[in-house]
Amino acid sequence: MGSRVVMLGRQGAGKGTQAVRIADALGVPHLSSGDMLRAAANGTTELGLVGKRYLERGELVPDEVVVALVAQCLTTPEASAGFVLDGFPRTRAQAESLDRVLRPCGVEVVVALSVPVEVVVARLSGRRVCASCATNYSLSAPPRQDWRCDTCGGPVVQRSDDVEEAIARRLALYDAETEPLIEFYRQRGVLVVVDGVGDEAVVFDRVLRLVEAATALRLSGRD
Ligand code: AMP
């Protein structure tokens, strides 16, 4: 099995953007639990409708709902050559479920993107996103025309969970539930911490260099 990468970091740390680029560089799928849940929320399945209520409030969707969705994606033939997971796991129980789904291989590299809280609050409140294809924009880097997506022409909007109250709730949940996973993966020797402040391309170079180094180390059996 190829690269099995997990991206950790506060909301607004640039996880999604970097996960797309890393997946592309490694030639593996980018699997975002947020995108899966938003797609499910637009459908009519029971799973999607349950998730929608939590999504809109910026609360964590119950573990069993997210685990079921992510496990479906991880067990497809496309993901058998590796993947970059973005937004999952977010709780200790999800991390343990991920171990079970990936058995006997486990996660290979966990990238923790480190960005101070005041920087992510500014990024999140200025973030805008295409409602059709999920391309990210911001107030300082809007689409070329009239808030229509440069890629697909869809409407570019503010996510309902990028408003002030929901941002505060999501960041508090990150500190309580997700931040402890950094230590969980550090103890397993799979964690790399990357400074996520700076130009997107510069951060990408940092991430890619560390992911490649961690993968090579493991392949050579020296870790
Ligand atoms: P994201 O796009 O990663 O910021 O996720 C958006 C929202 O989807 C979150 O605020 C949660 O409501 C939900 N969500 C995404 N991933 C998870 C997860 N692993 N566990 C629980 N809820 C999640």
* DSSP state at residue 220: T
60 CB near ligand 1 (under 6 Å): yes
What pLDDT, on a 0 to 100 scale, did the predictor assign at position 222?
47
Share of the chain above pLDDT 70, in %: 96
Rounded to the nearest whole angstrom, what is the distance from the C-alpha of residue 195 to the centroid of ligand 1? 22
66 CB near ligand 1 (under 6 Å): yes
CA atoms of 84 and 16, how far apart (whole Å): 10
Nearest CA to ligand 1 atom 11: 60
At which residue do the structure tokens 């409407």 appear?
Answer: 155
What pLDDT, on a 0 to 100 scale, did the predictor assign at position 99?
94
What pLDDT, on a 0 to 100 scale, did the predictor assign at position 220?
63
Rounded to the nearest whole angstrom, what is the distance from the C-alpha of residue 129 to the centroid of ligand 1? 15
Summarised one tens digit per residue, pLDDT across range 34-85 is 989 988 888 888 878 888 888 888 889 999 999 999 999 998 998 888 999 9
Its pTM stands at 0.87
58 CB near ligand 1 (under 6 Å): yes
33 CB near ligand 1 (under 6 Å): yes
Alpha helices for the chain (secondary structure H): 15-26, 33-41, 46-57, 63-74, 92-102, 117-126, 164-173, 180-187, 200-219
**CA angle (80, 86, 89) in 5-degree steps:** 90
Which residue among the candidates 4, 38, 123, 159 is catalytic per the annotation?
159
CA atoms of 34 and 12, how far apart (whole Å): 13
Nearest CA to ligand 1 atom 19: 88
What pLDDT, on a 0 to 100 scale, did the predictor assign at position 215?
80
Q: Flag residues of the chain having pLDDT under 70.
A: 1-2, 217-223
